[in-house]
Amino acid sequence: MALFDWFKKSVAGDETVKLEIAPDEEELAGLNLKQVLDAHTAWKTRLQNALDGTSAESLDVAVVCQDNLCALGKWLYSEGKNKFSHLAEYESTRVAHSEFHLCAGEVLMEHQDGNADLAATLLRTKFRTASNRNQLELVRLFTVARR
């Protein structure tokens, strides 16, 4: 599984690296790993577009900060919880995912409150760290759960 190689390159800032997962390795108990990683990776662009004023979507802080509305969050609190809550990796993934959404909400809130510089700094620092951790913990959960 090349997941950790992709993760290392992604964390190193290689934005050209593509996540390639064999079709038989993409799904875990109804969750498509590639789809949820792509969706969460896209948040950086979505937030940057909001900060730049080029976003075509209206993002609501109260919605963005919730960790149970996206496909991963719904899975973590249903099928994922039912099948994998006994694993330490499940809990670390759940926490990392929650922190990711809280951080995305914080970036957006600061922007909407007129703190553009702080929002941009948070996006480059705290959000990036939260995003990396979210991805890493999800990859770890997938790896351990497949054993």
For helices 88-112 and 128-145, the axis angle rounded to 10 degrees is 160
Q: Extract the tokens encoding 6.
A: 């992709």
Report the chain's mean pLDDT, rounded to a whole number: 91
**CATH code (residue 91):** 1.20.120.30
- Domain assignment of residue 120, yes or no: yes
Query: Residue 75: inside a domain, yes or no?
Result: yes
**pLDDT tens-digit series, residues 52-77:** 999 999 999 999 999 999 999 999 99
Residue 9 lies in a domain: no
> Which residues span the domain enclosing 83?
27-145
The structure tokens 């190689």 sit at 5
pTM of the model: 0.88
The alpha carbons of the chain give a radius of gyration, in whole angstroms, of 15
Statement: residue 47 has pLDDT above 80 = yes
pLDDT at 83 over 50: yes
In the structure, what pLDDT confidence band is assigned to residue 104 with cuts at 50, 70 and 90?
Answer: very high
Number of domains making up the chain: 1
Asked whether residue 12 is assigned to any structural domain, the reply reads no
Percent of the chain with pLDDT over 70: 93
Q: What is residue 97's predicted lDDT score, i.e. its pLDDT?
A: 98
pLDDT tens column, 2-20: 666 766 777 677 777 677 7
